[in-house]
């Protein structure tokens, strides 16, 4: 029988305090998430200082719940995995300090995990048959990357955003049309009532860099459009703005992901991160993948946005490779992918 490696995973890089127990990187025994969205909504975005304080308040409770739900204890788990970057430094430090305390007190191996590698690994949980190599589009509130997954824990960045992340663009446009935070799910919903061809917004492309993205021009174009309507006393059809903006984002994200897969001779494409739960992106990816005979993988929404199960999946493959961190593990806010 295959050896059972039970990992307690901890995630606190932004505004979710999360803990999970994952067996052999693919089987989720528990996945507890305490979201701070309601708290940060008041300010229209994440306030780092508040996020850190809330993590401190919640982290023990979240870990206890995750262990209880999984029927495990701090003694019965095999290792502790924790996100150590990238993210908000004060938020990351809460999870890192907690994981170090557990590893020290219970003499368990400690594995520091890269947050984006976690997002990508959410696909391993959802699709038990998925194995590298594949192309992965990672689109979240903080990141927009095209990552070639060469092997477990082995990555190459093929493309990235030059300015805003895709999720950030969703959040900013949502705020401009009065939808509140976080904007992604709200735009996704409102766009269903709008006409995606109503307004032509620019594409989030970078001249001469076919795999890179740039969302700030698109964001400005939406803001200019709204201003122009206001000055001309024209009523804005918010659903049309949402649908047209979303179409522009989704078109570029999917086109780049498919082209990168084809260019690198890969037959599998995955998506990950908060924006991967966008219904229009999923539909467009499915359509384009079918056309190009590519297999398409995406995690269920709860595994797209920040969670600890994905950290447990990535942490397992690092653990298997023999990666261990010492009690000097620190938070690295701008940690690069594959940087060890």
Report the interface residues with ligand KG4, using CB under 6 A: 14, 140-142, 167, 170-171, 182-185, 188, 273-275, 277-278, 305-306
Closer residue to ligand KG4 (CB): 171 or 212: 171
Distance CA 285, CA 251 (A): 9
Smallest distance from Zn ion to CB 140, Å: 4
Tokens representing 284 are 């467009």
Distance CA 149, CA 71 (A): 33
CA atoms within 13 A on the CB side of 215: 29
SS3 240: helix
The residues, ordered by sequence, that sit 6+ positions from 81 with a Cβ below 8 Å of its Cβ are 7, 8, 9, 10, 99, 111, 112, 113, 311, 312, 314, 315, 316, 318, 319
Could you tell me which of 12, 19, 113 has the C-alpha nearest to residue 69?
Answer: 19
48 touches, from ligand KG4, Zn ion, none (C-beta below 5 to 8 Å by class): none
Smallest distance from Zn ion to CB 253, Å: 16
Give the contact letters, 82-121, x = binds to Zn ion (CB under 5 A), - = no. Answer: ----------------------------------------
Smallest distance from Zn ion to CB 142, Å: 6
Closer residue to Zn ion (CB): 77 or 165: 165
Tokens representing 102 are 């557990």
Distance CA 55, CA 4 (A): 30
The residues, ordered by sequence, that sit 6+ positions from 76 with a Cβ below 8 Å of its Cβ are 6
Give the contact letters, 137-176, x = binds to Zn ion (CB under 5 A), - = no. Answer: ---x------------------------------------
Q: Is residue 240 within the footprint of Zn ion (CB under 5 A)? A: no
Q: How many CB atoms lie within 10 A of CB 110?
A: 23
Smallest distance from ligand KG4 to CB 190, Å: 11
Give 271: exposed, middle or buried? Use CB within 10 Å, 0-12, 13-18, 19+: buried
Closer residue to Zn ion (CB): 99 or 310: 310
Closer residue to Zn ion (CB): 115 or 172: 115
Closer residue to Zn ion (CB): 95 or 194: 95
Q: Which stretch binds Zn ion (CB under 5 A): 94-102, 134-142, 226-234, 255-263?
A: 134-142
Asked if residue 158 lies in contact with residue 211, where contact means CB atoms within 8 angstroms, the answer is yes
Smallest distance from ligand KG4 to CB 274, Å: 2
Residues 261-320 that bind Zn ion (CB under 5 A): 306
Closer residue to ligand KG4 (CB): 266 or 296: 296
The residues binding Zn ion (CB under 5 A) are 140, 306
């Amino acid at each position: 029988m295959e050896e059972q490696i039970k990992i307690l995973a901890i995630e606190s890089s932004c505004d979710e305090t999360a803990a999970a127990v994952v067996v052999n990187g693919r089987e989720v025994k528990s996945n507890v998430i305490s979201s701070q969205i309601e708290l940060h909504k008041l300010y229209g975005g994440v306030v780092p200082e508040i996020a850190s304080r809330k993590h401190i308040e919640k982290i023990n409770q979240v870990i206890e719940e995750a262990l209880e739900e999984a029927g495990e204890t701090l003694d019965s788990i095999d290792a502790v995995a924790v996100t150590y970057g990238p993210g908000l430094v004060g938020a990351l430090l809460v999870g890192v300090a907690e994981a170090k305390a557990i590893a020290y007190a219970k003499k368990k191996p400690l594995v520091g995990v890269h947050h984006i590698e976690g997002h990508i690994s959410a696909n391993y949980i959802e699709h038990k048959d998925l194995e590298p190599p594949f192309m992965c589009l990672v689109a979240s509130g903080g990141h927009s990357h095209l990552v070639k997954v060469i092997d477990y824990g082995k990555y190459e960045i093929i493309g990235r955003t030059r300015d805003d992340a895709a999720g950030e663009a969703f959040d900013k446009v949502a705020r401009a049309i009065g939808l509140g935070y976080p904007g992604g799910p709200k735009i996704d919903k409102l766009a269903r009532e709008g006409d995606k061809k109503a307004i032509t917004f620019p594409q989030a492309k970078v001249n001469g860099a076919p795999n890179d993205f740039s969302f700030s021009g698109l964001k400005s174009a939406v803001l200019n459009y709204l201003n122009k309507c206001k000055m001309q006393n024209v009523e804005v059809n918010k659903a049309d703005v949402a649908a047209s903006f979303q179409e522009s984002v989704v078109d570029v994200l999917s086109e780049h992901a498919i082209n990168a897969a084809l260019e690198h001779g890969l037959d599998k494409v995955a998506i990950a991160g908060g924006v991967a739960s966008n219904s229009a992106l999923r539909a467009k990816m499915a359509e384009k993948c079918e056309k190009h005979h590519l297999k398409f993988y995406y995690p269920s929404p709860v595994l797209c946005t920040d969670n600890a199960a994905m950290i447990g999946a990535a942490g397992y493959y690092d653990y298997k490779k023999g990666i261990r961190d010492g009690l000097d593990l620190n938070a690295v806010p701008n940690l690069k992918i594959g940087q060890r």
